[in-house]
Amino acid sequence: MRYLLLIPLLALSFSLSAQCRKFAKENCKESLQNYIPSGQSNTAELKPGERYQFMVTFYKGQHYRVVTCSDPKLGNLQFTIRNAKRQLYYDNEGNENRTFDFKVASTQQLVISLLIPKSAEANSDELMGCVSAIVGFRL
């Protein structure tokens, strides 16, 4: 019985994320410029105060660019890169910098977080929009 109750919830979740499916391609990809997408694009639908984070392996010797983008109605996107122990390496502090170019000291896993700031506006709980990040490498 409880599984029957889950079905409409799952359907709702998928239909919500469907709105964001082309978001990375239409809004983020161009900023990669001459970097080739590595692995998967990471897209989520967030509300103010919510965060999306994903872990990726970066190879020593490669030149990387992380590109982030978000629905403008969500406000400034905060974008950070940390190691698995949460040591912070990069934080755009919610400013306009949406891309970051770097190399890694050794091949390792890093966590990229995309955070939508909490909004003081009324009805901000109803606000929802797409955020995306793409990792690219340079030849």
Partner 1 sequence: MAKRPLINHMKYIYSSICVLFFACSSPDKPKTISVETPISKETNHEKIEAIYYGVPSPMETTIILKNNCPIFSNDVLFPDIISGHLNNKQSTAILLGIISADLNYAILSDRPHETSILMNKVINLAKLLHLDAVVNENIKQRVENNLSNKDSMQIIIGNTFWEIENKLKQDENYKSSAMIITGGWLEGIYLACKMAKLYPENHGINNVVAEQKFVLENLIELNSEFKFDEHIHELIINDLIKLKSIYENVTIEYTNPKSTSEEENSNEIVIGNYFNLKFDVQDIEKIDNLVNELRNKVITQLL
Distance in Å, CB of 73 to partner 1, minimum? 18
Nearest approach in angstroms of CB 7 to partner 1 is 10
Q: Least separation, in Å, of the C-beta of 55 and partner 1? A: 5
> Kindly report the CA angle at 102 between 52 and 59, in degrees rounded to 5?
85
SS3 label, residue 59: coil
Torsion-angle region of residue 132: left (phi > 0), alpha (psi -120 to 50) or beta? beta
* Shortest separation between residue 98's beta carbon and partner 1, angstroms: 16
Rounded to whole angstroms, the Cα distance separating 57 from 60 reads 10
Q: Would you call 126 exposed, middle or buried from its count of C-beta atoms within 10 A (0-12, 13-18, 19+)? A: exposed
Binding site residues, partner 1, CB under 8 A: 6, 9-10, 13-14, 17, 20-22, 24-25, 29, 36-45, 49, 51-59, 61-63, 78, 80-91, 93-94, 100-111, 113, 115, 117-118, 135, 137, 139
- Angle, CA 54 vertex, CA 83 and CA 46 arms, to 5°: 130
